[in-house]
Chains A and B, each alone.
Chain A
Amino acid sequence: MISYVSSVLQEAFSMARKTWRRRYLFRVATLLIFALAFLAILGPYIAPYPRQGMGIEIDRARAFKPPSLEHFLGTDSLGRDVLSRILFALNRALASCVFVVVLSLVIGLFLGSFAAISSKPVEAIVSYLTELLLALPSVLLSALLAILFGGTYEAVLIALIVTWFPWYARIAYVQARGLRELDFVKIPMYYGLSKWYIVTKHIAPNIVAPMIIEALSDIGSVALEISAITFLFGIGIKSIEEPDLGVMIAYSLRDVTTAPWTFLAPASILALIAISFTLFGEVIYEEYHPVLRKRWWLWF
């Protein structure tokens, strides 16, 4: 199992390594991603005021302190250290994005590949369902789930997975359809091997590398989407003390003219996440694009 996964990941790694050598923008993006991941994992341990970060400790006397040595990013309307709040929120934001993307990628990859080698009716039904789910807006779906099950964080995550996996299913389907007429897929089929075996052994390893890169660069968009949903509806938190980037931003909006740092700090962290992941994917895409890689000068 481990060797299988590692052999699948190897191609994606080699794509990244090649791009790392050539493009400095890629290095910047990758380092930023690693720094963010590092902060997200260690955040709760290195936060200067962990109790304020979790939102347990509230002191209205210290509200709206501008950035200083004591509070690097100032304090918010309830006197909590903004930096600690962000460090706590970052953990959750990145973990949920990775969860959503990985799960959607796995579902989409297998569903799309299965559809490509299945019989005609199954193929038609799967692509119909994919189109159907693509038309559902994730915001409203999460609102629906929030009413049904109460506004838990799971509602947001489920809504996002339901609306994201069709994209990957579509990509995998198109890629796998190109492979299904090839010998290494046809011969095992004639041989009578199970579809599950063909998908895992012959189709998935061949299409997964570009999809992993694509999924990595989608993490940024997912982060934006999650934070926009929590920003809009305030769903996904048990209490307003809980650190979450979207909710922090929503609450800081009232004081943006008097205390802009309470808004700017979480919003720019979010921007940093989105931009660095997008750049990561974009640069690899460009590096492997047959036309874009060519040297080019204006010759007409």
Chain B
Amino acid sequence: MLTLNYIAKRIVISTLLIFGIVILTFLMIQLTPGDPAIIWAGKPRGPGATAAIARAREYLGLNLPLYQRLALYMYKFLMGDWGLSVEFKQPVFHLVVRNFMASLEIVVYAFAVAVPLSLWLGTRAALSRGGLGDKTIYFLSVVLAGMPRFLVAVLIFLMLYLFGYGYLGLRVSPKYTTFSGLTGMITVDSLIAGRLDIFLDAFLRLIPASIALATYPMGVITRVVRVSLSETFEEEYVRQAISIGLPRKVIVRRYAYPNIVSVVAQLTGLLFSYMLLETMVVENVFSREGLGTLTSRAIVASDYPVVIGATVFTSIVLIVANTIADIVQAVTNPRVQL
């Protein structure tokens, strides 16, 4: 019951946060210095400028009072009408979702690589704390997490280049670019459509990028697993289990791991926001398309609707991810709710 209460509370708070983000971006649009319509239309110049500004003025409802504008903005937001991109001439919602999914694909694969690996490394380090293995793993994790992601990505790219795999850039090979599907993640879509050749191609191109990205969460999660496992080994119930004489594997897996699941879950949620920045960098190096290319093209064209849309969407995804992480944490560790 307590858990259900907590989950309900968490979900209500997250909904409020999502609305807060929408209101925040609304304020950022409306309270810009100068004319909001000009900025929304992408600071246009040339013959079509007045028409574009008039359209933007109508879209934003600038002749209405502020509270009606907010209601209008909320309504349009919920209906998925996030405006028209200045640069790409497409609805912002589709643009943002498509590019975000491309970035999310790398993040998901990176976590899939990083979490099991760092659990293993962290356990090894915690079991031999103070020894040579621990010191090596610890130092390696600090270095991996501290290296700028472009350095890691370029080193991997250089290696691929030297061994003759330099073509593994892009998301899919140019002959498959017309392929598109429901989720926007090529590896998932191609499996749904039953196109194994596309899946293999996309997957091969995904591996170097996600390994480059995975180095960051690996470094961080390894350190946290090491610390929290060491703490767990000091707990009474683990000492009890040790004194009974259970084998080490059982102690680590059955007794110690359940205690650190909550910590790892929460950390994964928190890392999400920073990972997004790193994804953009990695995408840039491997010349994949995604949120990074979208945003940098939007900046050049002063495409305000796209950047606003990307900000709102990303923030919402981060809030949802953190909520899920918190719920997992609460379920696995009921003490959190107090």
Q: Which A positions have Cβ atoms within 8 angstroms of B? A: 128, 131-132, 134-141, 143-144, 146-148, 151, 220-221, 224-225, 227-229, 231-235, 249, 253, 256-257, 260, 263-264, 267-268, 270-271, 274-275, 278-279, 282, 289, 291-292, 294-300
CB of A128 within 8 A of CB of B150, answer: no
Chain A residue with Cβ nearest B144:
A275
Is residue B265 contacting chain A, with contact meaning CB distance below 8 A?
Answer: no
Contact assessment for A224 and B148 in the assembled complex, using a CB-CB cutoff below 8 Å? yes
For B274, the chain A residues whose CB sits under 8 A away are 221, 225
User: Once the chains bind, are B295 and A271 in contact (CB under 8 Å)?
Assistant: no
Across the interface, name the chain A residue whose C-beta is closest to B308: A144
Complex interface: chain B residues within 8 A of A267 (CB): 148, 150-151, 154
Contacts of B20 in A (CB 8 A): 128, 132
Nearest chain A CB to B270 CB, angstrom units? 9
Q: Give the contacting residue for A298; candidates B127, B143, B278, B284; CB below 8 A.
A: B127
Seen from chain B, the residues whose Cβ lies within 8 Å of a Cβ on chain A are 13, 16-17, 20-21, 24, 28, 32-33, 39, 127-130, 142-143, 145-151, 154, 157-158, 161, 223, 227, 230-231, 234, 242, 248, 251, 273-274, 276-278, 280-281, 284-285, 292, 295-296, 298-299, 302-304, 307-308, 310-311, 314-315, 318-319, 322
Q: Given A147-B307, A148-B39, A275-B147: A289 and B277 within 8 A (CB)?
A: no
Of all chain B residues, the one with the shortest Cβ separation from A224 is: B148
Q: Which residues of B contact A298 (CB under 8 A)?
A: 127-128
Measured in the bound complex, the distance between the Cα atoms of B154 and A263 in whole Å is 9
Highest count of chain A CB atoms <10 Å: which of B13, B295, B296, B302: B295
A220 to B216, CA, bound (A): 14
B280 CB contacts on chain A under 8 angstroms: 139, 228, 232
A268 to B33, CA, bound (A): 40
Q: Is A291 in contact with B149, judged by CB distance below 8 angstroms?
A: no
- A284 to B145 alpha-carbon distance, docked (Å): 18
The 22 listed contacts between A and B (C-beta, < 8 Å) are A132-B20, A135-B315, A135-B319, A139-B295, A140-B310, A143-B298, A143-B307, A144-B307, A148-B33, A228-B149, A228-B150, A228-B281, A249-B148, A256-B154, A256-B157, A274-B146, A275-B143, A275-B146, A291-B230, A291-B234, A298-B127, A300-B251
> Which of A131, A138, A297 contacts B277, CB < 8 Å?
A138
Q: How far is the CA of A135 from the CA of B24 in the complex (A)?
A: 12
Q: Is the CB of B230 within 8 A of A147?
A: no
A274's nearest neighbour on chain B, judged by CB, is: B146
In the bound assembly, the distance between CA atoms of A271 and B280 in angstroms comes to: 18
Query: Cβ of A135 and Cβ of B129 under 8 Å apart?
Result: no
